[in-house]
Structure 1
Amino acid sequence: MDLTGTVALVTGGTRGIGLAIAHALHAHGARLVVTGRSEPTGRAALARLDGGADVTFLAADATVRADAERAVDGTVERYGHLDVVVNNVGGATGFAAVAEITDAAWREAFALNLDSALHTTRRALAHLLPQRSGRIVNIASVEGRDPDPGLCAYAAAKHALIGFTRVLAKEVGAYGVTANCVCPGAVETDWFTERGPQAAAAFGTDYPGLVRHFTGRTATGRLTRPDEVAAAVLLLASPAGAGITGASLAVDGGMTV
């Protein structure tokens, strides 16, 4: 899974799962651009990645079309080409049942999890299709395969992202471009601990109860680690993953068995 000579773009790559993915890609030889909304968080990520000129941070909000396109174009300007796109931006803030979900929460979930991937992927294809090679990896979720009550907007958006990826795979396969999803289970990142209490309330429990709920659904009896998600992305981004496209690869400790 040597990525020497490869250029990657990781959206939302400054913390949590995104940072773990960036670390794995860079450790295997890729030069990369990571994006995020916060300049201080981006600078901290660069320090942790310690990649020198081979790692660049661009401040961008992938839910904004102009920002997403600027990130793609900036990657090509910086390193000369683009090979791998990891659409990691996602999440939700409105945890509620269908009867209670607000229009704003619904729109935000789709902006974060689906629109961001569309904006970035569409621009990236302008570079990937002419060179007749490339890898697109979208970070979906276990909730896009086996959803929980109380997460209707997030689950719907992740289901849509998986469908988007499957269509994309059929459209670009003849051009040497693969498109896949990685579907993590519950991963205890800083985002998870920050938003967990709000999600727990939608489940009618507290944060420890939420953790017990997710671990209870697994075969392993524990939450998934960010580096385990990154390992799946590394496979799909590498030459070894050339035969995999249109897949939604679960990295969830057996939650969806």
Structure 2
Amino acid sequence: MVATGSLDGRVAVITGSTRSIGRAIAEAFLADGATVVVSGRSEVKGKQALEEMDAGDRAVFHPCDANSQEDIEGLADFAAERFGRLDIWVNNVGGSSGFAPIHQLSDEAWHNALNLNVNGYFYGTRRALPKMLEGGWGRIINISSVEGKQANKPAISHYITNKHAIHGLTKATAFEYGTQGITCNAICPGAVDTDLMRAAGPAAAEAEGISYEDWLGRFAEHAATKKITTVEQIAAVASLLASEAGAVSPAR
């Protein structure tokens, strides 16, 4: 990645950043000069990520299970205590399982998705904001989905509902804190070619009665480029939104 220095001196936290989208964002932020707190459930994957990124003391790992309010809040506290500030918070972890039509969707699938997506994003945002207010500057970036802007696929009602809710939280945060130097935006990709997608996608495709290849192809067909989104493309947008040049927030 080309270094820009646009994030020099900034401290960024990314949930679920040992691999896939979160990892790409961490690497992009590092290339732009930020100090990054990488997080995830696995200490082994965290250590491996730091070794591969080779960023010295500008990258540290802190364990965090995004299903745990205590862990998410502790992640924000760790960054602020370790580096004396917290400038950028990326809510990246998300997803769902137990795909089924609404009348067959289990309580477990509904509540698990709600906790991971909506509750997790709220807890992280709420904990990061006071630290940003202290510095009079902040960037909150929510990794959402195109499913938060539409409802045209069966068997993922819990995921669609959660992503729509994340957009509401994004707009509310932007409205309340935009005049205080803190922006909040959501990135809404379609299908992204990641190991996580390859693990969860086949079940979603099966719930629709189509092959995984056809399921991916439909996402590509809906894109202007007719291609699946890459993690590097998402990371580039996140870098812009985290910079001074990205000082915009969604309209009310």
- Per the alignment, residue 234 of structure 2 pairs with 229
Which structure 1 segments of 5+ residues have no match? 249-257
Aligned counterparts of 1:167 and 1:125: Cα–Cα separation in 2: 13
Once the two structures are superposed, the pairs formed by residues 186-225 of structure 1 within 5 Å of their partners are 186-225=191-230
Matched to 2:40, the amino acid is G
Overall identity of the aligned pairs, in %: 45
- Per the alignment, residue 19 of structure 1 pairs with 23
- Per the alignment, residue 99 of structure 1 pairs with 103
What CA RMSD, in Å, does the superposition of the two structures yield over aligned residues? Answer: 1.3
* Cα deviation, residue 219, structure 1: 2.1
1:149 aligns with 2:154: yes
Matched to 1:215, the amino acid is A
1:130 aligns with 2:137: no
Aligned counterparts of 1:156 and 1:45: Cα–Cα separation in 2: 32
Give the TM-score normalised by the residue count of structure 2.
Answer: 0.95
1:77 aligns with 2:108: no
- Per the alignment, residue 254 of structure 1 pairs with none
2:73 touches 2:124 (CA, 8 Å); kept in 1? yes
Q: Deviations over 1:154-177 (max 9, x none)?
A: 110000000111011111112110
Aligned length: 247
* Cα deviation, residue 184, structure 1: 1.0
Q: Deviations over 1:103-151 (max 9, x none)?
A: 1101111111111111111111121112221000000001111232221
Aligned counterparts of 2:217 and 2:246: Cα–Cα separation in 1: 34
Which structure 2 segments of 5+ residues have no match? none
* Cα deviation, residue 247, structure 1: 6.1
1:116 aligns with 2:112: no
* Cα deviation, residue 246, structure 1: 2.4
Q: Deviations over 1:75-115 (max 9, x none)?
A: 11221111000000101112222121111101111111111
Give the TM-score normalised by the residue count of structure 1.
Answer: 0.93
- Per the alignment, residue 140 of structure 1 pairs with 144
- Residue 56 of structure 1: SS of its match in structure 2? strand
- Per the alignment, residue 180 of structure 1 pairs with 185
Aligned counterparts of 1:199 and 1:47: Cα–Cα separation in 2: 34
- Per the alignment, residue 175 of structure 2 pairs with 170
1:21 touches 1:233 (CA, 8 Å); kept in 2? yes
- Per the alignment, residue 50 of structure 2 pairs with 46
- Residue 185 of structure 1: SS of its match in structure 2? coil
